[in-house]
C-alpha cells in the first residue's frame, strides 16, 4: 500500500480532510486528528484506541517510537499494510477522532 491508497480510503469517509503543513501531511475528522505521514511517506502514525494499539503491537508490522510513547498512536510501514487492515484501522481512528461542532451564528 502507498499513501495515496491509504488517504483515499480515509477521505472516502464523512468529514475527513487532508492538510499539508511544511512537509507534514495529516488526516482529520473535523478538528480531530486521525493520522500523520512520517518518514517521507513510508510510515503512517495513526491515532487509535489503546486496546487496538495493544493488539497491533503484537504484529511486527506495527511499532512505537519515543516521540509517540504515551500517546494514542501506533506507527506502521505502509509497505506492510494491506487494504483490509488499513480500512479497519481508518474506521477505528475515524470513530475516536474528537468531533468539533460547527460554530453557531446568532
- pLDDT band for 44, please (50, 70, 90 cuts): very high
- Ranges of each domain in the chain: 3-96
**DSSP label at residue 101:** P
Does the structure show a pLDDT above 80 at 104?
Answer: no
Distances from the Cα of 105 to the Cαs of 15, 31, 63, 102, in angstroms?
A: 20, 19, 44, 9
Does the structure show a pLDDT above 60 at 105?
Answer: no
Contacts of 31 (CB under 8 A, 6+ apart): 98, 99, 100
Q: Which of 52, 36, 50, 39 is nearest to 89 (CA)?
A: 52
Q: What is the mean pLDDT of the chain?
A: 88
Per-residue pLDDT of 51-103, as tens digits, reads 899 999 999 999 999 998 888 899 999 999 999 999 999 999 999 886 543 44
Question: What's 3-96's CATH class?
Answer: alpha beta
Cβ count near 25 (within 10 Å): 17
- pLDDT band for 24, please (50, 70, 90 cuts): confident
Q: Which has more confidence, 18 or 106? A: 18
Per-residue buried b or exposed e for 30-65, using 16+ beta carbons within 10 Å of the residue's own CB:
bebbbbbbbeeeebbbbbbeeebbeebeeeebbebe
Amino acid at each position: 500500500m502507498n499513501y495515496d491508497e491509504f488517504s483515499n480510503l480515509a477521505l472516502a469517509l464523512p468529514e475527513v480532510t487532508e492538510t499539508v503543513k511544511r512537509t507534514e501531511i495529516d488526516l482529520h475528522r473535523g478538528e480531530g486528528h486521525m493520522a500523520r505521514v512520517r518518514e517521507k511517506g513510508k510510515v503512517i502514525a495513526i491515532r487509535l484506541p489503546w486496546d487496538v494499539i495493544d493488539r497491533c503491537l503484537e504484529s511486527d508490522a506495527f511499532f512505537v517510537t519515543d516521540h509517540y510513547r504515551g500517546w494514542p498512536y501506533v506507527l506502521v510501514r505502509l509497505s506492510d499494510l494491506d487494504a483490509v487492515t488499513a480500512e479497519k484501522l481508518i474506521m477505528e481512528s475515524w470513530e475516536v477522532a474528537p468531533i468539533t461542532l460547527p460554530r453557531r451564528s446568532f
